[in-house]
Amino acid sequence: MAELHGNFSLLHRACTLLVAVCILHLSVVIFFYLRTYNIVARVQTPVASQYITTTSVPTTPEVATEGNKTLQYCPNTPPKLEGPLYVDFSEPVKLEGIMKNTRLALGGHFRPSECVSEQKVAVIIPFRDREQHLKYWLFYMHPILQRQQLDYGVYIIEQGYMEALKEYDYNCFVFSDVDLIPVDDRNIYKCYDQPRHLSVAMDKFGFRLPYNEYFGGVSSLSKEQYLKINGFPNNYWGWGGEDDDVYNRLTFRGMSISRPDHQIGRCKMIRHARDKLNEPNPHRFSRISQTKQTMEKDGINSLSYSVMSWEKNRLYTKVVVDIGKPPHL
């Protein structure tokens, strides 16, 4: 009997030990399961938030092409802006210093080396027989655009939108008269949520708008905004009307014009006589009144021209095109 009781006690102790081992094993399993779940949760959370914030400006750095150096996006307010500037047209300017700027790539293309610009900007200048005006523009504007930390290229051309896109994936287009220079570099030549009128206070008009619908001089449109209005009209020959037609197109597509304030948006114009062979278009007012009817069929989808020549130097790309002869006005 004593021997039977001893065996039972031994069996009881063995069972107790086995239960304890099972409980320990189960605890370890539960612990590692919960720990693994937390790790997975922490890894997956940023992925979900990434899709939530895709409509805002990216916050992650990009990798520049120079030596795999990691660069942040350029700040909204560039740190080297000077504010009000002295601009003078009384004396000729020399471009030798700008021509030696090694940060300018052939064709007048610049990218900041210290950060990644959020936009790729094509600056397009319609040009005809204004060599002295162009020298002033290049002399003043290249330093301004570089202080604004823009990834930009300069195109001297009439049909600039299409030709610029052949070279680079621009997503912003600034259209500038060759005789207008901003006198404050805080007037940043880039694109905004709405089409931007940059030359809002020209000395020619007493540093105020000539009328509220004025969209001439210098303006910027994103690629999306430009395509939304079918680009610029092609049926304006001679002087006047096309800027007002573009303003109508923007309003008909539900967009509004954004502008800097009148102090920052000041510009100086180089005084000159009207270009020869560029007489006022006698039909400009009637065509402006028909914008709503013509904009669907007159624009990028009706553009027709031939490229005659390309010229590249350190300061700009010049494209000469043949747009044909004007119809009888």
Catalytic residues: 177, 179, 239, 242-243, 269, 272, 274
- For residue 95, the one-letter residue type is L
Place of tokens 């400009």: 284
Integer Cα distance of 256 and 192 in angstroms: 11
Integer Cα distance of 283 and 276 in angstroms: 19
Structure tokens at 34: 């919960």
Phi and psi (nearest 5°) for 311? -135, 130
Integer Cα distance of 193 and 57 in angstroms: 12
Q: Alpha helix (H) ranges present in the chain? A: 2-52, 96-99, 131-147, 160-165, 223-228, 242-252, 284-288, 291-294
- State the sign of the Cα–Cα–Cα–Cα dihedral 301, 305, 306, 312: negative
Q: Strand runs (DSSP E) across 73-211, as ranges?
A: 104-105, 109-110, 120-125, 151-156, 172-176, 180-182, 196-197, 201-202
Integer Cα distance of 179 and 177 in angstroms: 6
Structure tokens at 155: 């195109």
Integer Cα distance of 245 and 237 in angstroms: 13
- For residue 262, the one-letter residue type is H
Structure tokens at 312: 């590249």
Integer Cα distance of 61 and 114 in angstroms: 12
Integer Cα distance of 237 and 274 in angstroms: 15
Name the residue among 219, 264, 222 with its Cα closest to residue 245. 219
